[in-house]
Amino acid sequence: MHRHGYQGRKFHRERDQRRALMKGLADSLIKYESIETTLPKAKEVVPYIEKLITKAKKADLHNRRQIIASLQTIESAHKLVEEIAPKLSSRVSGHVRIERTKVRRGDNTQLARVSFVDDLKEAPVAKPAKKEVKPAAVKKPAAKPKKAEEKA
């Protein structure tokens, strides 16, 4: 059988299992900001998460709903849109990197760490400053001149 024109890896899984795997890996990457997995899985999850980050940068309702559908939990979708995407706004692409780490002892499989290129802990998101409402200073009414002073 030929492999011409087929894209993506199957991982010896059916389609629904592959989708669940990608959702889970992307969800973990957003939650923990770095994951370690096998090299082929890492190479598959990077384009998946890059597309989600691009949608998160737009941050409108339609893209938010698409992100929620592409991740396992709603909390991670909101974290991606509200916390992570604004910190990555300076980049156009290349938000995630793959680093080969070690070889797994049991089956000699190459492992890789997937993490965000920018340090997400350093660059805090600029939130609008809350204006402190100071109680208005109680104005003392001007002392009324006494009638005796008015006559003088």
**Which tens digits make up the pLDDT trace of 92-122?**
999 999 999 999 999 999 999 999 999 888 7
Q: Each residue of 19-63: pLDDT tens digit?
A: 999 999 999 999 999 999 999 999 999 999 999 999 999 999 999
Q: pLDDT: is 59 or 139 the higher one?
A: 59
Q: Is residue 152 predicted with pLDDT exceeding 90?
A: no
CA angle at residue 121 from 96 to 84, to 5 degrees?
50
- Domain 15-127's class? alpha beta
Query: Which residues, at least 6 apart from 21, have a Cβ–Cβ distance to it below 8 Å?
Result: 11, 13, 41
Residue whose entry in the numeric block shows the structure tokens 């090299």: 39
CA 78 to CA 137: how far, in whole Å? 42
